[in-house]
Amino acid sequence: ERQGGTVSATGVNRSNHGAYVHTTTTLAGRYFLAGGLRVERSSVFGTKVAPRGSLGVRLAGARGPVSSSFLRFSAGRGITEPSLIQNFSREYYFVGNPDLKPERTSSYEIALVQEWFGRRARTEVAAFHNSFRDLIAFVSLPAPVWGSWKNLEASRARGVEVSGKARITDVVSFTAAYTRLWTRILESASPASPYYAVGQELARRPAHSGSLGLSVSP
């Protein structure tokens, strides 16, 4: 509908269909394999394929203060579609972009997992690398509109995560995690923007983040 020179999107729609297969297996009681494949079909973006797999290796198994040790590798690809607001919004201060493409990501991770005190506690140290294509970002536009969304060409996120979980009693558990993250924009659809120029860090991706949790499960 056209109202006063602006377009109000009231009849837009999108349909999605998907199918996936997933399997897990254990070899010789030491190697743990998992893999899957998902196919997404969108009425707007066409067909996308997202594979994923992981391998876990038991390095040592023991009882007592130092229990089992595992080394884990994982890799995968995925997509995230833009929201309906990002595609079709016609608010006064920001407008949608119907030409947005889905975000595409490739992820790799390696982690060392250690169990303690008969599996009452568990710690994990992981290093990861995520590559993004067509990352969706909010960009400024000339007044009176504040902005819209565009696809950045390429970016990456690397980091290290340390986490732990301890079972204090049979019903009380404590968790903690810390992540150190490094991000960079490698190619940009808005190179003149001070926020999305090549070499800048990604917005809303904190360099330091952490969490603490206490759960009770009677």
pLDDT tens sequence across 121-135: 999 999 999 999 998
Nearest alpha-carbon partner for 132 in 217, 189, 83, 174:
189
Dist. CA 99–CA 158, nearest whole Å: 29
pLDDT for 124-180, tens place per residue?
Answer: 999 999 999 998 888 777 666 678 888 888 999 999 999 999 999 999 999 999 999
Contact call for residues 127 and 145 (beta carbons, < 8 A): no
* Tens-digit pLDDT profile for residues 99-128: 888 999 999 999 999 999 888 999 999 999
Closest by CA position to 147, among listed 135, 132, 134, 136: 136
Task: Tell me the helix, strand and coil percentages in the chain, rounded to 5.
Answer: 0, 65, 35
Contact partners, residue 64, CB within 8 Å, separation at least 6: 117, 118
Under the banding of pLDDT at 50, 70 and 90, the label for residue 192 is: confident
pLDDT of residue 63: 73
Across all residues in the chain, what is the average pLDDT? 88
Task: Give the pairing type, strands 6-7 and 31-42.
Answer: unpaired
How sure is the predictor about 2, in pLDDT bands with cuts at 50, 70 and 90? very low
